Amino acid sequence: MLSTVVIIGRRNVGKSALFNRLIEETKAIVSEVAGTTRDRTEGICLWRGHEIRVVDTGGLDIGKTDTIEKEIRKQVKFALKKADLIVHPRRI
């Protein structure tokens, strides 16, 4: 069973860019526009000979309560339930 690393955080801090670097491919869309990532994206990172599942999540905006934000929170909670490690970047 693979260990799972989940990347969570506010909007536009570089979660998707970090995800792409870790999995060494461009799987997540990276944009200057806040709120681009809305769903979970999973990939495999090879680290010191071990495969690790990495999960990118949509950016959280605590002040918002619209339908899209609720769905992002739902996706983040789902990912967190499977997390062995949580990475919370502030700004990359």
E strands along the chain, which residues?
A: 3-7, 41-47, 50-56, 85-87
Residues 18-67 have pLDDT tens digits of 999 999 999 988 888 777 777 899 999 999 999 999 999 999 998 888 89
HSE-CB for 14 with a 13 A CA cutoff: 9
- Report whether pLDDT(6) > 70: yes
Ordered domains of the chain (ranges, CATH):
3-87 (3.40.50.300)
pTM: 0.89
Please tell me the distance from the alpha carbon of residue 83 to that of residue 26, in angstroms, as a whole number.
22
